[in-house]
Structure 1
């Protein structure tokens, strides 16, 4: 599939994202909904294989049934010229395998947060009686905000279907395969739990527990060898957290967590102080009743032995026949009178009666206590909800709101729940009171000095705090990707949700062979520029050859060699001018830029950036960059056609100080 090929007249292929054993995945742009999507296309050599086609269709069916924030969404299913394809949510980021490699070691709380997201997604699949059967880090995507999303339900099978793995055929990746699947047994929900335990092990240690030269040798280790201790790798890992790994990866499925929800509930409390000093998990001794595969001769011998045992135990009771008894009494002898046991042992009889009555009283007391004990319920997840919505949700679980505490938060919107105590998924008695912590709004924080640091890591951290982060590349002697400067003064007090910071990032000193960008959408051009560390200035104009919102020319032209960090001007089409009979108006809007005195800064100047959008400019590019030492009066030029509406935004030291998103000619200054 080549770039720019349009599938079904709607999905324009941008580039390849990866190749798999069953399908190839491409980044595409949905021309109707104007969004990026992932297109999964069945491989050419497998289009005539009915088993592969069935598996491909099964993935579509399984994914359609599952709607969850941590499961990749399915948008569309189609076929073109014999090519079967799925259109899915595009997750911009990387898979968990690469995320572990790039970020290891992961903080324990982050490990728990990611696992909680994965477990909640798998719980939804299990609630629909769908077993994934191929859970592994390569099938878990991590987006740029650190959220996990499970994909690839290609070998997921509903429990109502036959799930027995064929002899000598093992589906799934052997490093994460449960012992029962490796032996050829039926895959169950506990099989997914085993794979989740291996994933948790890898997140804690950076590697899989079992390695080998062949798949068979690894599979043997799964049902013969004990899981290595994660605490041997890192003694700082709590025993409670290791216990989650051990219970999830128990050899016998009966020793594992009954459900994914049970695993999640246990995982959430592993860092709690109440679980310090917890004993190491040991599987229960269920006896030697494990199902084993034995030769037919052994089975026959076992049956014969069992039959002989039954014959030995079946001893008939002899009948009282006086004619055959060696000790029969004489005919004239009289039988001796017999006394009942109760008369011969009156004291023992009383003891038994008293003991029986005591047992009955104890049993009755136990039943009474059990019936009077309050029922248990699980605390629902209320974080992110308003207090009113949280109260209603708690009431559905027979719970009520206790104390309400208000604190500042840059991560949670004002008047929304930050957390609950006890936390979500904890088991409590019905009619319990749940304490809530509510956000009272954002608070100003001191902005750091990020010069010489790595831009990608800084951007990830600041976005997580609520900042809007932009970059501008420049040729520099610094290593590629290092921050050269920032437009927000270090140590200044700023509000994250209202602050936009632009970093000047080193592009090194390399050259880039410039691509021909004509015919591209704005999002595709920005992706290309970011990948090649180029700066883009967008301008708008009429074009009879190119449709609206696609580029029709650029400077420098495609094919030129430019230095990384250079600025490329791209002209975006407003459509054909012949279709527009309305007049174009040019005017100025005047505004005042206030001067800000920063007590924590030795710099007396303010860095000001002006952004405008009209017929020839876009709000994504800086229109004017200036430095002021006092209050300034600016005249901003606009050119608008017909009923077009303009916009402008003025950012001072990274903070928006003036903005108008509905500029018309009526705003013109005299």
Structure 2
């Protein structure tokens, strides 16, 4: 397909985006709706192949059924001159595979956010009884705003089709293939969950868990080898987060999450301090009642060949037919004895000496080769030690037969004091065992003068400040100034701050356009926040009990869906925390009192301090602002809490962008009169 060719008189081809085994993808422009689209065109050499055509049509059918913000939308299906094509949403960005390569290591919160989007999309597919069967980073696109979108449902099959027949052809990428698929068994929703666990592993470590020279050797590892530990790669990863990987990638599907929603709910709390000290996930022992799945003929033959190649081969014994029978001696007269035969060594003394000398030389050469091989330095990979203390880094290096070399200290506003900033050679470098690795440690952060960013573009300022260790947030406000421009900031310009301990909130212009609210009930937290951000709306998330909606999803909103509001408005969304507790579980109401100290900002006349209060209890989420106030002196605050059962509350107080008071384990014992 050449540039400027117009498909069906509507889609003008701009350039090629990529080529695949089944179809080629092009960037095109929809001349009617004036928008860029992606056109997937079946390859010419496959347009007469009925199996490929069926798979192509299956993708169209599967994608048509799925409407979700994190699934690439299908706009049109057509055929021209025998060429079948799909017109899909064009996602400007890159696939997750390249995203990991370019930006690794990814912050843990970003890993969770991306996975939450992916899980939400897969949950929608599973709700329609559609199994993707080929989930991998190459089939997940990341747009310029960091949003994930799943594509390529070319081998997705509805559950009803699986119940009719079972193919011996193993589809999908072997690095992300579940053990049951590797055996040639039927793919289930748990097979997709296994692939999602491998994707999460790769986002945390930068590589797939199992590698090999052939597809068969990798498939063998999926159902024979133990899943490597992500904490061995980076000990800073919480055990709760590793447990999500381990449960999702359990060998037995019965050990995995029952649903994608269960995996999403578990993942959402992995960074919570409430899960500190969690034990490592161990699969259940189902004993001998495990369902035995016969491998496909192709994989079974390959496995047998693989095992036979590795087995020790015994020397065959000579058969009776190949052994020369002894010759009967000729009869001799009774008074005559046969002449004694001379041995071969006596008949050929020179040759015998040559053989002995040759054998000795060969033994010496063999011993020399073994000695050289044993003395040759072995190679190892430098582990990632950034973020660890020097002692922890030394222990991790010792596990890889390495030791600490020179230690240099520098100021850092991004890494905590006495923790490793980087190593030389860097992580994942290949070095000889017993090498010394030089470390650069943080000598602590230093205060810097905060700038005045009013009237600047928020996205540019956010990128620069986060690169320097600041935590940056935004709130929208209706304004006549350009959309995306900073109107105000809550950290005073020219004040001295520590980047690693400073949270700055910018008020950003949302323009003056009207937004028609969508119905957000039944949405996950990440989807709600993405919708609010893309429409430049503020969102106040609150928690409440709901007998109709499952935990972690919204059950009501204000204003309601369909209402028109100005960009910059605040919408309130109530998130379910499960069924309402019985009367035997009382709700405790109490106050926690604390004093917010006034901070002198300049030597000039006194200025007010901007104070923001965040709380989490039965009715509030700590990610949403609870109270915003200004103070001109030390101020006593009374913070209300409502907690049921054994629930634990939290509060955080931020003054001029800096956290001045925080308690992440509030109980009624903290109540003050």
Query: TM-score of the superposition, structure 1-length normalised?
Result: 0.48
Indicate the structure (1 or 2) with the bigger Cα radius of gyration. 1
